[in-house]
Amino acid sequence: MERDPSLAHQPLSACQESPSRCNRMTESKAHTRLGLLIACNALMNFDDTAALHPRILDHLTDAVLLFDLSYRLVYINLAGEVLFAVSARQVLGMRAKEIFLLYDKTIEKDLKRALGHGESLTKRNLALELPSQMITVNLTVAPILDQDKPVAGLVQIEQVDRHLRISMEEQIMAQQNAARMLLRGLAHEIKNPLGGLRGAAQLLDRELADEELREYTKIIMEESDRLQLLVDRMLAPNKPPRKSRLNIHRVLERVRQLVQVEAPAGVVIERDYDPSIPLINGDNDQLIQAILNIVRNAAQAVGQKGRIIIRTRVQRHASIGYRCNRIAAKIDIIDDGPGIKPELLGQIFYPMVTGRADGTGLGLSIAQSLINQHGGLVECSSSPGNTVFSVFLPLEKDHE
């Protein structure tokens, strides 16, 4: 591979290693610019902080690619590897037009212009067709100058639709939270008078000699108890989690046994566990409650006969809202039931939203809230015959 001599003395090999460090999504634009500036300096000649530069570059959310004067790749950061779904080893030394073959046919012309005129250019809202999806990016090509002479071309790719998606996720989570808070407020208001009502009915029941009249007080007490249960569910979760190190598979096994006992004989619950998942720091009872609500729904959905799979995997670089977790546990609950109606799908995590005649619509809202308290998230996708609820639980120290 040819390299520009002015770049050759820099410790590029350190940059080429794909680090395990997570590509943080929370970097601000200002940080990104600063990072690029420092990175350029590192590649030019600044030995004292050189060890830091690959780290900074690999923490950027933007893809950064550096090309020499013959348009061959001499550096790609971690976000670049993730974006193009390649490892640095596979693409270093390749021509820009080969790397961008599918995406942007004019890249070498842009590099030529940037290097020839010493000017940078930005293409906004460019559609890149990646093998798995179509994304929208802002692509900037800039020359790196040494004493006014271009020595390399820098390509920076910022994925713009990703920011949109994350901010939408955050917005939805905030809305779900607000709906839960509203409901909790209402439940609080009902709870006290309800207690008084039930107490008064009980006193009256003792005073009444007529058995027929006591039937009425019994109804008041029974209905109050039913309402009390509902109010208590509306107030859940009402305790902060009491966390300890636990094996997530124990939680799942408990849930599996509970649901298997309740479910008709034709419902099969299968396990597909990844035993390499490290211990989780969580509240055992709350996690059982959250997963139980989801698996119970699956069992209700499949009816008399069906298949539910509980699958666990380790997920790397899992983004939960604006937070990117280096490593997370992913628990999928998959069922082959009829699926969730499209008009309901966007709302099922809101409280009191139900598609079942006897449902209260609280199960998923409680599950989401409990998992949020663990720094995690519940997602759902559904089509007839394949409904998947995915629970993400971060496995990093900062959530402990």
The pair of structure tokens assigned to 364 is 């998923």
Measured from the CB atom, the residue of 137 and 299 that comes closer to Mg ion is 299
Is position 297 an interface residue for Mg ion (rule: CB under 5 A)? yes
Is position 306 an interface residue for ligand ATP (rule: CB under 6 A)? no
Interacting residues with Mg ion between 3 and 42 (CB under 5 A): none
Is position 368 an interface residue for ligand ATP (rule: CB under 6 A)? no
Is position 39 an interface residue for ligand ATP (rule: CB under 6 A)? no
Q: Which residue has the tokens 């900074």?
A: 56
Is position 288 an interface residue for ligand ATP (rule: CB under 6 A)? no
Give the whole-angstrom CA distance, residue 383 versus residue 205.
52
Measured from the CB atom, the residue of 99 and 367 that comes closer to ligand ATP is 367
Is position 360 an interface residue for ligand ATP (rule: CB under 6 A)? yes
Amino acid identity, position 313: R
List the beta strands (DSSP E) in 25-120.
Answer: 63-67, 73-76
Exposed/middle/buried for residue 353 (C-beta within 10 Å: 0-12, 13-18, 19+): middle
What's the helix, strand, coil split of the chain in %, to 5?
45, 25, 30
Is position 363 an interface residue for ligand ATP (rule: CB under 6 A)? yes
Number of residues interacting with ligand ATP: please give it, by CB under 6 A.
22
| Alpha-carbon distances, residue 329 vs 17, 49, 315, 372 (angstroms) | 25, 35, 6, 14
Q: Identify what 340 binds: ligand ATP, Mg ion, none; CB under 5 to 8 Å per kind.
A: ligand ATP
Measured from the CB atom, the residue of 83 and 298 that comes closer to ligand ATP is 298
Q: Identify what 278 binds: ligand ATP, Mg ion, none; CB under 5 to 8 Å per kind.
A: none
List the beta strands (DSSP E) in the chain.
Answer: 63-67, 73-76, 121-129, 134-146, 149-159, 244-246, 266-272, 280-282, 305-320, 323-335, 377-383, 386-394
Q: Identify what 298 binds: Mg ion, ligand ATP, none; CB under 5 to 8 Å per kind.
A: ligand ATP
What phi and psi values does residue 213 have, to the nearest 5 degrees?
A: -70, -35
The pair of structure tokens assigned to 374 is 């663990």
In the complex, least distance from residue 339 CB atom to Mg ion, rounded to whole angstroms: 15
Measured from the CB atom, the residue of 237 and 363 that comes closer to Mg ion is 363
Q: Which stretch binds Mg ion (CB under 5 A): 108-116, 163-171, 292-300, 369-377?
A: 292-300
Is position 301 an interface residue for ligand ATP (rule: CB under 6 A)? yes
Q: Which residue has the tokens 């609280």?
A: 362
In the complex, least distance from residue 360 CB atom to ligand ATP, rounded to whole angstroms: 4
Exposed/middle/buried for residue 277 (C-beta within 10 Å: 0-12, 13-18, 19+): buried
Is position 284 an interface residue for ligand ATP (rule: CB under 6 A)? no
Measured from the CB atom, the residue of 348 and 395 that comes closer to ligand ATP is 348
| Alpha-carbon distances, residue 70 vs 39, 92, 106, 108, 191 (angstroms) | 21, 13, 15, 10, 74
Query: Residues 297, 312, 325, 372: which binds ligand ATP (CB under 6 A)?
Result: 297
In the complex, least distance from residue 232 CB atom to Mg ion, rounded to whole angstroms: 16
The pair of structure tokens assigned to 136 is 């929208």
| Alpha-carbon distances, residue 239 vs 19, 100, 115, 282, 287 (angstroms) | 39, 52, 61, 13, 13
Measured from the CB atom, the residue of 76 and 364 that comes closer to ligand ATP is 364
Task: Please give the full DSSP string across 174-215, using - where no structure is assigned.
Answer: HHHHHHHHHHHHHHHHHHHHHHHHHHHHHHHHHH---HHHHH
What phi and psi values does residue 141 have, to the nearest 5 degrees?
A: -115, 125
Measured from the CB atom, the residue of 22 and 366 that comes closer to ligand ATP is 366
Measured from the CB atom, the residue of 4 and 335 that comes closer to ligand ATP is 335
3-class SS of residue 172: helix
In the complex, least distance from residue 255 CB atom to ligand ATP, rounded to whole angstroms: 14
Q: Identify what 385 binds: Mg ion, ligand ATP, none; CB under 5 to 8 Å per kind.
A: none
Nearest Cα to Cα of residue 351 among 191, 237, 245: 237
Contact mark string toward ligand ATP, 328..357, x via CB under 6 A: -------x-x-xx---x---x----xxxx-
Query: Residues 176, 224, 281, 293: which binds ligand ATP (CB under 6 A)?
Result: 293
Query: Residues 23, 224, 325, 387: which binds ligand ATP (CB under 6 A)?
Result: 387
Residues at the contact surface with ligand ATP, assessed by CB under 6 A: 293, 297-298, 301, 335, 337, 339-340, 344, 348, 353-356, 359-365, 387
